[in-house]
Amino acid sequence: MATYRIAVLPGDGIGQEVTREAVRVLEAVAKGAGVAFEFEEALVGGAALDATGRPLAPGALELCRQSHAILFGAVGGPKWDDVAHEQRPERGLLALRKELDLYANLRPVTCFPMLVDASPLKRSVVEGTDLMVIRELTGGLYFGEPRGVERFADGGARAINTMVYTSREIERIARTGFEVARRRKKRLASVDKANVLAVSQLWREVVTRVAKAYPDVALEHVLVDNCAMALVHRPTQFDTIVTENTFGDILSDEAAILAGSMGMLPSASLGGSVGLYEPVHGTAPDIAGKGIANPIAAILSAAMLLRYSLSLEKDADRVERAVLRVLEQGHRTADIASSGKGATVGTREMGDLIVRDVEAQY
Ligand code: NAD
């Protein structure tokens, strides 16, 4: 029997509540698919800080390195808002991204037909939205040198950040873009600002070169300002989008609005030898501990784990189908309740419904 080791890092707040449900769904998959998952938990974020004095517990990085995939919850909360910069809960996540070289962030955005009215945008705009934003995560403006603020004697100042990419960095994220597009509708939009930025000119040159190895994928180059408009005007024109760090940060949050609720959005961070899967949302201190958080983003992250780290495509499809069916039946957590028919369910009940549907598919 194939055995996979999964590092589970629930973190803080609702991270713990939703990760529990994602693990239960994976357990149902294991039973049905005849594979074994060995789950090993480690502390990260505020929970790690409280217990070990560090935002990533000793041994957690090693555990992740030795696993086939990482299931992550969320980190942070008001309790740790005033701790020193290096101790902050999100440093635990940033350390993992850096140490594991997770340079590609994948965020699928699907507007589920039965949740169309949960989006603030018009039905005619969002209906049918099914896209993937791939953001380069470890280069560009957020990391480039030189950076800093210079203060002058006359009271003035000058600040600098550097947008820098090497052809190697562009090439590897472009490959991720084409590989992902190949598993979807085989359309890739590469987003840049090549009419102004030298970095974007190199970006376009390298992406065009990489495209030659993927003749089955249709590539288009889109300027970032056009892309920002098109995402809220005609999002269905996109299938897979690949872009650099800063543009991706902004566009992926913009695209998130199309799905209706933060509780519906999964993500994957890929690159090095092990992928990390987490809901896009944070720890939601306003609802933590109440058992009402929507576990679907975490469960769909587990589906991505099955697809991208374990190549268990059919099982990933089953989990996604289960989510769709449970929503079709009218079950809703509070965050998406306005578009539901029946009574609102809690985190655990939503997990139960999805687990039962997954079980029934084997
Ligand atoms: P948040 O995503 O935690 O919450 C924003 C709003 O969405 C809240 O009203 C919350 O109740 C709601 N929400 C989020 N997820 C939900 C779910 N699954 N079900 C139902 N409702 C949900 O963002 P925030 O309030 O800006 O941040 C709270 C804390 O989380 C902060 O400490 C922040 O630093 C941290 N955070 C962590 C991550 C991460 O770990 N990757 C990401 C974002 C924020």
Atom 10, ligand 1: residue with shortest CA distance = 284
Half-sphere exposure of 287 (CA within 13 A, CB side): 19
- State how far the alpha carbon of 182 is from the alpha carbons of 12, 186, 192, 237, in Å: 36, 5, 21, 17
Are 87 and 161 within one domain? no
Query: Over the stretch 250-291, which tens digit does the pLDDT of each residue have?
Result: 999 899 888 878 899 999 999 989 999 999 999 999 999 999
Q: How is 17-55 classified by DSSP, letter by letter?
A: HHHHHHHHHHHHHHHHHT-EEEEEE--BTHHHHHHHSSS
Residue 115 lies in a domain: no
Which of residues 259, 291, 326 is at a domain's end? Answer: 259
Q: Are residues 137 and 254 in the same domain?
A: yes
Predicted pLDDT of residue 341: 61
Alpha-carbon Rg of the chain, whole angstroms?
Answer: 21
291 shares a domain with 223:
no
Q: How many CB atoms sit inside 10 A of residue 223's CB?
A: 15
Whole-number Å distance, alpha carbon 283 to ligand 1 midpoint, is 5
Q: Is residue 249 among the annotated active site residues?
A: yes
From 225, 259, 293, give the residue that closes a domain.
259
Total domains in the chain come to 2
Amino acid 342: pLDDT: 63
> What domain range is 207 assigned to?
120-259
Q: Are strands 240-243 and 157-162 parallel, antiparallel or unpaired?
A: unpaired
Q: Quick one: which of 128, 127, 135, 122 has its CA closest to 227?
A: 135
Residues 149, 236 share a domain: yes
What is each CA distance from 127 to 136, 181, 235, in whole angstroms?
A: 27, 21, 9
Q: Is 284 in the pocket of ligand 1 (CB under 6 A)?
A: yes
- Residues linked to residue 188 through DSSP beta bridges, in sequence order: 219, 240
For ligand 1, mutation pick of 281, 286, 333 (most atoms within 8 Å of CB) = 281
Contacts of 266 (CB under 8 A, 6+ apart): 107, 108, 277, 278, 279, 280, 297, 298, 299, 300, 301, 303, 304
Nearest to 250 by CA among 272, 274, 277, 232: 232
Residue-wise pLDDT for 312-337, tens only, equals 999 999 999 999 999 999 999 999 88
Q: Which atom of ligand 1 is nearest to the CA of 77?
A: 32
User: Exactly one of 79, 130, 142, 352 is catalytic; which is it?
Assistant: 142
Residues 309 and 356 in one domain: yes
Q: How confident is the model over 188-215, as a mean pLDDT?
A: 98
Q: Is the pTM of this model over 0.75?
A: yes
Question: Do 106 and 162 reside in the same domain of the chain?
Answer: no
Q: Which two tokens stand for residue 12?
A: 């803080």
Burial of 228 (0-12, 13-18, 19+ CB in 10 A): middle
